[in-house]
Structure 1
Amino acid sequence: MPEPAAPGLTLWRAFVPRWSYLPLSGEGAARFGGRWNPVGAPTIYAARELSTAWAEYNQGFVQHPALIARFELTGAALADLTDAAEMNRLGLSPDIHRYEWRAIMDAGEVPETHALRERLLVAGMDGVIYPSFMSPGGTCVALWRWAEPSKARLEVVDPEGRLPKSPASWI
């Protein structure tokens, strides 16, 4: 399996401002499910480029208000699905990046990406790096584990403490 991510891997995340006090929860993905997680499994989706975070958030539709935050990831074991050698080693076709996971999930079946997630979790992976669908050339990260002691750590960069600490700012 791949080595842990280099210290200081910078990630960007755009999300609904209402949830600005929970930038590390992963509960939005757990509520609805996603390409790399079934319903009920908290997951952080982020991008390696700021422009990719914005494109993924809006999904090519109307430009919605968003909070964009920078994160630093350390100690994560990530399967790099942008690397052809890694894809071959895992027995994957590039078709997995065009996989219609939502339609499969809506039909009550298990998407191939969710099955791969389970395989990778068992192998000790904390997440995947994958090509952005909405921003050609951009890359994204889906994290399944990011807060366990002495493992993958994801921290929001907020040096001036501007993010709210509770939902009170939205009442």
Structure 2
Amino acid sequence: MPDKTIKAMQLWRAFVPKWAFAPLSGEGASRFGGRWNPVGAPTVYAARELSTAWAEYNQGFVQHPALIAQLELRNAMLADLTDDDMLADFGCPADIHQCEWRMHLDKGEVPETHRLRLALIDLGYDGLIYPSFMSPGGSCVALWRWNGPGAPHLDVVDPDGRLPKTPASWL
């Protein structure tokens, strides 16, 4: 397999302000599951554009308060599912992006996106790039491995150290 490692990528993440002390935890996705992860699997979801991060966070509904952080991802092997050729290489139909994953979970079924996640992990991918459902033309990243031994490096861009280090800032 050719090297598909992305040397550096700027990302944007909008998230609940209460979690300002842990912008890279992936625990929200772990608790509730997501399009590209089952419950119990920490995953960082971020967008490649600021406007996409905002649209994905609010899911087209009420505009909730959010904290938006810039992230830098380095040395990640990502499957680019915005590329039709790569989708075809994995034997995936283009309509996988319309997968009704919540409905499948509610029925006790495994969504096709979760099956693809497992296949990609087996192939050594750290995550994937996928088209935004809420922001046409935008794209997102779901990252399953980061900041561990042999994993890609993910940093929050906080040059002045403004993010809190503990949840005590909300007390």
The equivalent residue for 1:36 is: 36
Identity, in percent, stands at 68
Runs in 1 of length 4+ with deviation above 6 angstroms? none
Q: How many residues align?
A: 170
Mapping of residues 122-137 of structure 1, within 5 Å = 122-137=122-137
Q: Secondary structure at the match of 1:46?
A: strand
Q: Secondary structure at the match of 1:5?
A: strand
Gaps spanning 5+ residues in structure 2: where? none
Q: What letter matches 1:5 in structure 2?
A: I
Work out the CA distance in 2 between the residues paired with 1:58 and 1:110. 25
* Cα deviation code 1:117-144 (max 9, x no counterpart): 0011011000010000000000000000
Q: Which residue of 2 aligns with 1:153?
A: 153
Match of 2:117 in 1: 117
Which runs of no fewer than 5 residues in structure 1 stay unpaired?
Answer: none
**In structure 1, how many angstroms separate the alpha carbons of the residues matched to 2:148 and 2:77?**
13
What's the CA shift for 1:22?
0.4
One-letter amino acid of the structure 2 residue matched with residue 165 of structure 1? K
Alignment of 1:10-159 (within 5 A): 10-159=10-159
Amino acid at match of 2:25: S
TM-score with structure 2 setting the length = 0.97
Aligned mates of 1:146, 1:25 — CA distance in 2:
10
Give the superposition deviation at 1:147.
1.1
TM-score (norm 1): 0.97
Per the TM alignment, residue 150 of structure 1 is displaced from its structure 2 partner at its CA by 3.8
